[in-house]
Amino acid sequence: MGTYIKAKTEDKGIQRLLAEGGTEYFSLVELGNKFLGQEDWREQYRELLDKDGDLLTEPLLHIPTPFCLMCAEKSSAKCHRREISDYLAKKGHEVEHIE
């Protein structure tokens, strides 16, 4: 698929690619990995979700479903999306991983 970035205009970048498939793009920077580059980022991110997960994930409740969490991380094993999806699953939301 290649690498796509958020473009300045919706007719380019990831927004254009998603729009061609009928999917709207939303940027939720509050769900970003605030601990990127730290050895224990996964544990810190889990702690953040345990403490403030409902607040952090609340904007997802306003996005039409189904939706897809995406990140710039090359490896899904190193991506914080797994922590977010695990949190959402614990809260009773249906989660499907696409690898």
Q: What is the mean pLDDT of residues 62-76?
A: 80
**Average pLDDT score, the chain:** 85
| Sign for the pseudo-dihedral over CA of 56, 59, 65, 67 | negative
User: 81-90 and 41-57 are packed helices; what angle lies between their axes, rounded to 10 degrees?
Assistant: 50
Statement: residue 57 has pLDDT above 90: yes
At 3, is the pLDDT very low, low, confident or very high (cuts 50, 70, 90)?
low
Report the alpha-carbon distance of residue 17 to residue 23 in Å, rounded. Answer: 9
Report the alpha-carbon distance of residue 58 to residue 30 in Å, rounded. Answer: 10
Q: Where are the domains of the chain?
A: 13-90
- The per-residue pLDDT for 4 is 58
Q: Are 14 and 5 in contact (CB under 8 A)?
A: yes
Statement: residue 10 has pLDDT above 80: no
